[in-house]
Amino acid sequence: MLHPKPLDYCTVTPTETAKLIVVVDTEEEFDWSRGFSRENTAVQSMRWINRVQAIFDQYRIKPVYVIDYPIASQPDGYRPLQEFYHTGRCLIGAHLHPWVNPPFEEPINPYNSFPGNLPRALEAAKLQILGDCIGEQFGARPTIYKAGRYGVGRHTAEIIEEQAYEVDLSVSPGMDYSTEGGPDFTHYSAWPYWFGKRRRLLELPLTVGFTGVMRAWGTTLHGITSRFHGVRLLARLGLLERTRLSPEGHPSPQLIKLVRALHRDGLRIYSFAFHSPSVEPGHTPYITSQNDLEKFIANCRRFFDFFMGELAGQPTTPLELKDYLQPIGG
């Protein structure tokens, strides 16, 4: 999982139709600028989740809501999703925030906020409890996983395989969380790959990539210039900019520019993601006002118009992709 080999990557020909999954990190509200706390379990923003589900319905997108323990364990968190799920309009996955997910055995600090840093037994126990809770509310245990803070570790692949997960969404290409003790995805790509003991688990990374005239050297240049605070200068000059396929912090023209570049590279599978608290102003640094919310919703619509229109792409789900990309002999 953490060290894919060349033969692990999925093969998709350039003639294939572009496919899009939408992932919503469905979680409690907390102040991103402050420390982690077990007391941050409010989920009131979920009363507005239909703001985005209505958009998904319009574009025939079946999103996957990867939900954490505060969402799965509180009626205000899970009830808004039950209707979507039982009418076949979404999938439900698991999203592990260790600091608010029992059992509570570890000290709270940035290092332990990455679930893959926990002792193997504790990481497994937390995920088991989360999966059981989701199963109680939705009638089936989740088979899609996304680690909180993208925090996979050396035991994560074994744990999710043991607990019958089929798809992981935790890899964030080009991102480095090692200064806090988290994983370093600097040299990973957005291409899906197989992992696990039997090479039957599918990794669908978040779509992250570079745009600009120097994008061919993106990983190297971004690493060098970040040490000298030159990243913003390169972006302003149009030379190099790293973009996540997310309407949070990235206007739709930048998202479209990224996908056009990656499409020319041959990528045909894209993962679009954001955080559920962004549906109500004041819960994430990206959406602090009603104006921000309106821009966020407009970004989603404009990007989906482009993807389904100009690119002639299609929405899909992680589980559909797993069947579609089944490895030889699968």
Residue 218 CB: number of other CB atoms within 10 A? 18
pLDDT grade for 328, boundaries at 50, 70 and 90: very low
Q: What span, in angstroms and rounded, lies between the C-alpha atoms of 47 and 76?
A: 7
pLDDT for 210 equals 83
pLDDT grade for 216, boundaries at 50, 70 and 90: low
What torsion do the CA atoms of 313, 316, 318, 323 make, to the nearest 10 degrees? -100
Inter-residue contact 255 to 307 (CB < 8 Å): no
The mean pLDDT of 225-252, rounded to a whole number, is 74
Inter-residue contact 151 to 114 (CB < 8 Å): yes
- The 8-class DSSP code of residue 110 comes to T
Q: Domain 17-207+269-324 - what CATH class?
A: alpha beta
Find where tokens 């990867």 sit: 66
Average pLDDT, the chain: 92
Inter-residue contact 64 to 318 (CB < 8 Å): yes
Q: What span, in angstroms and rounded, lies between the C-alpha atoms of 115 and 126?
A: 9
CB-based burial label for 180 (10 Å; 0-12, 13-18, 19+)? middle
pLDDT grade for 329, boundaries at 50, 70 and 90: very low
pLDDT at 230 over 70: no
pLDDT grade for 325, boundaries at 50, 70 and 90: very high
pLDDT for 221 equals 53
pLDDT in tens, 166-205: 999 999 999 999 999 999 999 999 999 999 998 899 999 9
Inter-residue contact 199 to 16 (CB < 8 Å): no
- Least confident stretch, 33-47, 135-149, 203-217: 203-217
Inter-residue contact 319 to 91 (CB < 8 Å): yes
- What ranges do the domains of the chain cover? 17-207+269-324
Dihedral sign, CA of 155, 158, 161, 166? positive
Residue 160 CB: number of other CB atoms within 10 A? 28
Residue 59: both structure tokens together: 């574009």
Q: What span, in angstroms and rounded, lies between the C-alpha atoms of 55 and 37?
A: 33
Q: Which residue has the higher pLDDT, 13 or 72?
A: 72
Report how far apart, in Å, the C-alpha atoms of 263 and of each of 59, 100, 304, 312 are: 21, 39, 15, 12
User: What percent of the chain shows pLDDT beyond 70?
Assistant: 90
Helix 252-265 × helix 290-308 angle, to 10°: 30
- DSSP labels for 64-104? EEEE-HHHHHSHHHHHHHHHHHHTTS-EEEEEE-GGGSS--
Strands 201-203 and 167-168: parallel
Strands 314-315 and 241-244: unpaired
From the list 321, 318, 324, the residue with the least C-alpha distance to 142 is: 318
pTM (two decimals): 0.94
Find where tokens 């790959």 sit: 193
pLDDT at 212 over 90: no
pLDDT at 222 over 70: no
Residue 324: both structure tokens together: 């579609």
Q: What span, in angstroms and rounded, lies between the C-alpha atoms of 128 and 122?
A: 10
